Structures are given as C-alpha cells and as structure tokens.
Amino acid sequence: MNIRSGLAKGLAKEADLIETTSDVNEALDKFDAGNFQLVMADVRLPGDRNGLDLVSLLKERKPDTVVIVITAHGTVETAVDAMRRGAYDFITKPVDLNLIRQQVNKAREHHRLQAENHELKDRLADAGEISGIVGDCETMQHVFRQIRQIADTDATVLIQGESGTGKELIAQALHDLSGHGNGKFIAVNLGALPETLLESELFGHEKGSFTGATRRKPGCFEQARGGTLFLDEITEIPAKSQIDLLRVLETGQFTRIGGEELIFSDARIVSATNKNIQQLVDEGVFRDDLYYRLNIVPVHVPALRERRNDIPLLVEHFLNHFYKRHNRPPRQVADDAMHVLTSAAWPGNVRQLRNVMERLVITVTDEVITAESLPAELQMEFRPAPGSARPLAEVTEAAEKDAIEAALAALNCHREETAKALGISIRTLHYKMSRYDLH
Ligand SMILES: Nc1ncnc2c1ncn2[C@@H]1O[C@H](COP(=O)(O)OP(=O)(O)OP(=O)(O)O)[C@@H](O)[C@H]1O
Ligand SMILES: [Mg+2]
C-alpha cells in the first residue's frame, strides 16, 4: 500500500470526503470541482511540476486553502520553501498517522477561524462606518444617522457617554463631514486647565494683559473660525466662565483678555461630557441656560457593554490597525478568547479594548490568540472565582438592575420608552426602580 492510499484510509474519519491523485493536473481539476478545505501534497510528484508548484497554484486559486506538504526526512530547505509559498505546515517522512491526524485537526480549526475572520471583515466593510468609527449595532447606526443628518448644519451638539466610548471621534467626524473645508477642528479640554488660564485659552489675550503675556495670543474660539470648536469635559468649567461662555455662544462675539476689539467667531460648537450633566443642572452646579444652549442636538454614545455585538468588529478593526502599525503578522482569535472579550465588563469602554488589542498584537507570538493570552483583569470579570457561587435570585436581581440602569441611561431616563424597550409595563418599571433604588 502506498502512502497516499494509506493516508486516505487512516484519515477517513476526519473528513467527509477524501480524493486522491498522483498527478498535478488532475489534482487541480478535482480541486476546482470541489470545495476542499485541506490539501496534502508530497513534494516529489511525477511530471515536471512538483508539490511546491502545486502549493503556489492552489494558493493562487483559493488563498484560504490549507496545504500541508510532505517532505523527505532532512530536507529543511524544501520545507521552508513550501511555507514561503503559503503552505500551512509540513510533515516529514516516514509519516506517523497519529501525528497527521493531530495536524489535520489543527489545520481544520485554522480554516474555520480563517473563515470566521473573513466573515467579520465583510461585516466590517458593510457596517457603514463613518470616519473610522466602527459599529453596526442599532444604537451606533442611530448615532451615524444623526452625524450624517447634522454634520453640514451649524447646530450645536452635546455628546454624552462614558469615558472611552468615542465622543471625541464623533466630534471629529462631525467636523470631517461638515464640508467646512477651510476651518480647523480645535479641541480644548476644560477639565485640564486651571481656572486662571481657561479664559485666556478660550478667548485669547493681548500682549501685556497679565504677567507672562509677552505676546498676543488668539484663543480657541478665534482659531476655530469657520471650523469646529470641541469643548471637552464641559461640566468642569467653573461657574464664572459658564456665564462668559454662554454670552459668546449667544452673540458669537467676544474680546481677548486685556483687549477691546470685538471679535466674531462662527465656530461650530460641539461639547462632550462623561458626567450626568442633567443631574449637575438639577443640583444647580451647571447653569441650566448654558445646558440648553449646548444641548441643541444631543448625541448619546452607548457604553461598550450595551453593544456587545460590536465587540468582534472592534477587535478585528483594532487588530488590523495594530498589525500594520507594529508590523506584526496577523493572528487569529480563538473562540474562547472571543467569548471572554465579548462578555467582559469593559469599564474603560472602547479605549480599554483598543489598549488590550495593542498589547496583544505586541506580546502574542503564537498563531492564535487564546483566552489565556488575555489580560487577567478581563478573565476575572468573566470567570467567577472558585467558591464564589451566589444564590441564583441574587444573580438575577443584579442582572435585572444592570439592565434597567443601562436602558434608562441609553434612553435619557425616559421612563415610558425604557419600559417599552424592556418589555415591561411602566408600573413594573417604577416598582423595580424603587426596589433597586434607581433614580
Ligand atoms: N466606535 C469606535 N470605532 C473605532 N475606534 C473607536 C470607537 N470608539 C472609540 N474609539 C477609539 O477609542 C479611543 C477612545 O475614544 P475617544 O477618545 O473618542 O473617547 P471619549 O469618549 O472622548 O473618552 P473620554 O470621555 O475619556 O475623553 C480612541 O482611540 C478612539 O479612536
Ligand atoms: Mg474625550
């Protein structure tokens, strides 16, 4: 019995269909006619084309095909050449059937992950992302529609969402799609500036207007003329500056500190916060008139745990990004790893996911990213610690509370809509809210 028929027999259980041939042309014909996941080829074949040529021909036809090459013992160079041409693996003679079975199963898993990966790529391409914002869940699609609708207007936009959800990315997208080709996108973080510097940063100052003001400096409002001014962490603005800001928003006019000249700015204002601004208004910390002026068009960005379906897409997106940036070969994500990724809590939202992906690209040297290669903090969230079993009622209640809280946040605390979204009556919602202390 030759190796070929021996292998076909030995592997009969591993595959639905096995075809054999000793001829390159016939191999190609059979390959074209069928839908084969795996090809095993001896390097030495009769005729003027050998098994290495076959690897190249198969990869040209269907790049996804997994090819395992069989070489004579000790021909390392041939094996290297085969891998270079796209072979998945090689086997040296004499062949060990058990080893081959293992390799075949590994190759099949590889093929399956590869197919899954392509499906994700297609989804990514279809997701209708704008300006590099990835997401095809309904809430993100809603955000995209909003962006498209309002980008070319000068309407003031307030973006709300937890830290790391992509608020700045959305502000940038609004600017990119605004068609205001000439103006700049100027971002200013109101939380990062001491009160004394804030007004100078926003409105600019004249030379000599205070100690250290050695030159005239235009402020952000001036620099963003004809463009977009992004006021980040808007709730951090001190009470006095709130009044000044409101005045500028209403008139579009201001003076530089220490100056008299009236300056006009038509900058489009986009502001953002990760705080509950409505609550700060209710508490009297944030002026309500300023809030209404900023919140002409509210955009709510959901937390990552509220759009878990987008996680595989984001994983794919960031992996591709970092493979290129760090010049690393692509890896595949095993099912167990994807499971952990899609069920983690992600308190840092997309930023945290992005950082995890960058770390993985740099540190994982295996072909497949497995659950073990993920940072411990994600696994701990996912796996209950041994002995940590809790009464089921407690677990369900916690889940119920989370779901209600998330829905309320997503729907701006609109109770009727929240009840509808959760599929419960408004009375039940009220009852549960008071029970879980959600107000
Ligand atoms: N949907 C998304 N698609 C692709 N990248 C995203 C997405 N959302 C966020 N990111 C990326 O995640 C990181 C954090 O986003 P961003 O800075 O916009 O968050 P943020 O909401 O402004 O956070 P913070 O409140 O902490 O300022 C950025 O690198 C951004 O490019
Ligand atoms: Mg930000």
User: Which domain CATH number covers 277?
Assistant: 3.40.50.300
Quick one: pLDDT band at residue 181, thresholds 50, 70, 90? low
Give me the residue label for tokens 């919602």: 429
145 and 182 share a domain?
Answer: yes
Residue 133 lies in a domain: no
Quick one: pLDDT band at residue 140, thresholds 50, 70, 90? very high
Name the residue with the closest Cα to ligand 1, atom 28. 351
Examine the pLDDT at 352 and tell me if it is beyond 90. Answer: yes
What CA–CA distance (Å, rounded) separates 169 from 294?
18
**Mutation to probe ligand 1, out of 350, 353, 356 (largest number of atoms < 8 A from CB):** 350
Torsion sign, CA atoms 364, 369, 375, 376: negative
370 and 401 share a domain?
Answer: no
C-beta of residue 268 within 8 angstroms of C-beta of residue 225: no
Residue 387 lies in a domain: no
Atom of ligand 1 nearest to the CA of 232: 27
Domain span at 249: 138-302
Q: What confidence tens digit (pLDDT) does each residue in 222-232 have?
A: 999 999 999 99
* pLDDT for position 387: 55
56 and 114 share a domain?
Answer: yes
Residue 130 lies in a domain: no
Mean pLDDT score of the chain: 88
Task: Tell me the sheet residues that pair with 217.
Answer: 205
Q: What confidence tens digit (pLDDT) does each residue in 282-311 have?
A: 999 999 999 999 999 999 999 999 999 999
Q: Estimate the crossing angle of helix 392-410 against helix 426-435, to 10 degrees.
A: 120
Domain boundary among 234, 268, 302: 302
Examine the pLDDT at 163 and tell me if it is beyond 90. Answer: yes
84 and 164 share a domain?
Answer: no
Quick one: pLDDT band at residue 180, thresholds 50, 70, 90? low
Total length of the chain = 439
Q: What confidence tens digit (pLDDT) does each residue in 63-104 have?
A: 888 899 988 866 778 888 888 888 988 888 888 888 888 888
Helix (H, G, I), strand (E, B) or coil at 35: coil
Query: Could you say which ligand is closest to the alpha carbon of residue 129?
Result: 1
Query: How many domains does the chain divide into?
Result: 4
Residue 220 lies in a domain: yes
Find the helix or strand (DSSP H, E) in which 379 lies. Answer: helix 376-382
C-beta of residue 199 within 8 angstroms of C-beta of residue 239: no
What CA–CA distance (Å, rounded) separates 256 from 261?
8
Give me the residue label for tokens 């074949």: 45
CATH number at residue 44: 3.40.50.2300
160 and 258 share a domain?
Answer: yes
- What's the whole-model pTM score? 0.71
CATH number at residue 377: 1.10.8.60
286 and 363 share a domain?
Answer: no
Q: What confidence tens digit (pLDDT) does each residue in 247-286 have?
A: 999 999 999 999 999 999 999 999 999 999 999 999 999 9
29 and 83 share a domain?
Answer: yes
Q: What confidence tens digit (pLDDT) does each residue in 43-69 have?
A: 888 888 889 999 999 999 888 888 999
Amino acid making up residue 275: K
What CA–CA distance (Å, rounded) separates 109 from 107?
5
Q: Does the beta carbon of 164 sit less than 6 angstroms from any atom of ligand 1?
A: yes
